[in-house]
Chain A
């Protein structure tokens, strides 16, 4: 069964606020082999003009995942998680995420396409800070493999 095309345009309730913790940022930075000290050391980050350790550019995926869980759980979506493969990922930033940020993320589905038995679902998770200003948008395309394909 292919993914429900009527998902396009659907917006989910905001998730969060997600408090970005300093040690979570450092743990993530080590896990992605960060070497620049602004991602690991608050003193170095402050010397570079940031309020606290800077989250590596892909850190917002942690919050994006919380919003994608809403989409996967949507009863009429017809998305079989065991057949989902990550196709594309993109982040567009207004500013870097730093420890101490409180991010609220709102997911909306921007496109559903079917190609050769596979479905491609593109969604945007728009993240704002405690003052409501835009921080980053995480755009993800999930490929849902069709029943007939290996």
Chain B
């Protein structure tokens, strides 16, 4: 089966709003209870400006738009990212993370999706790529 996709196609663009509750929910779901993800005083004591989203939360949410787009088609065989900048989650205003999903390459039954993940106009994940095969 082929995907019918063309290199350069932007298949989805989505903004996800994170608040402190989202970080607490992810902490519980993942088991990562590092206090830099829910306590400003602790974050500041280790030299950070404030509470940060878990990198793995950003990675975890960044792939969701393409999974929604794929519905029940295709199978993810590889997903990798580099954590380049932290996502600071303000106690009052939270943080908006925007994910743009573009077709990076198409080969027979395999497609690479390239994710551009930004917060405050800056990229927070580098080389964020999802490989999907259409069996």
Query: Of the 9-residue stretches A2-10, A26-34, A99-107, A121-129, which lies at the interface with chain B?
Result: A26-34
Contacts of A27 in B (CB 8 A): 28-29
Report yes or no: B63 in contact with A89, Cβ–Cβ below 8 A. Answer: no
A92 touching B78 in the complex, CB below 8 Å, given contacts A61-B30, A87-B83 = yes
Residue of B nearest to A34 (CB): B64
Q: Is residue A48 contacting chain B, with contact meaning CB distance below 8 A?
A: yes
Rounded to whole angstroms, the CA-CA distance of A49 and B46 in the bound complex is 47
Report yes or no: A91 in contact with B31, Cβ–Cβ below 8 A. Answer: no
User: How big is chain B's contact interface, by range?
Assistant: 20 to 34
Contact with B along A12-34 (1 / 0, CB 8 A): 00000000000010011011111
Contacts of A31 in B (CB 8 A): 22, 25-26, 28-30, 57, 60
Report yes or no: B71 in contact with A36, Cβ–Cβ below 8 A. Answer: yes
Report yes or no: A35 in contact with B68, Cβ–Cβ below 8 A. Answer: yes
Query: Which residues of A75-95 are within 8 A (CB) of B?
Result: 82, 85-93, 95
Residue of B nearest to A45 (CB): B72
Q: Is residue A43 contacting chain B, with contact meaning CB distance below 8 A?
A: no
Contact with A along B49-63 (1 / 0, CB 8 A): 000000111011101
Rounded to whole angstroms, the CA-CA distance of A4 and B44 in the bound complex is 29
Q: Is residue A132 contacting chain B, with contact meaning CB distance below 8 A?
A: no
Contacts of A30 in B (CB 8 A): 25, 29
Q: Is residue B39 contacting chain A, with contact meaning CB distance below 8 A?
A: no
B63, B64, B83: which contacts A86 (Cβ < 8 A)? Answer: B83
Q: Is residue B106 contacting chain A, with contact meaning CB distance below 8 A?
A: no
Report yes or no: A32 in contact with B77, Cβ–Cβ below 8 A. Answer: no
A61 touching B72 in the complex, CB below 8 Å, given contacts A33-B64, A86-B83 = no
Report yes or no: A33 in contact with B77, Cβ–Cβ below 8 A. Answer: no
Rounded to whole angstroms, the CA-CA distance of A32 and B32 in the bound complex is 14
Report yes or no: A36 in contact with B83, Cβ–Cβ below 8 A. Answer: no
Residue of B nearest to A93 (CB): B77
Residues of A in contact with B (beta carbons under 8 Å apart): 24, 27-28, 30-36, 38-39, 47-49, 56-58, 61-62, 65, 82, 85-93, 95-96, 139, 150
Top 5 A-B residue pairs of the complex, sorted by shortest distance between their CB atoms: A90-B80, A32-B60, A31-B29, A48-B72, A58-B60
| Complex A-B: 21 CB contacts under 8 Å | A28-B29, A30-B25, A31-B28, A32-B26, A33-B16, A34-B67, A36-B70, A58-B79, A61-B30, A65-B30, A86-B55, A87-B83, A88-B80, A88-B81, A89-B56, A89-B59, A89-B83, A90-B78, A90-B79, A92-B78, A150-B47
Residues of B in contact with A (beta carbons under 8 Å apart): 16, 22, 25-26, 28-32, 46-47, 55-57, 59-61, 63-64, 67-68, 70-72, 75-83, 130
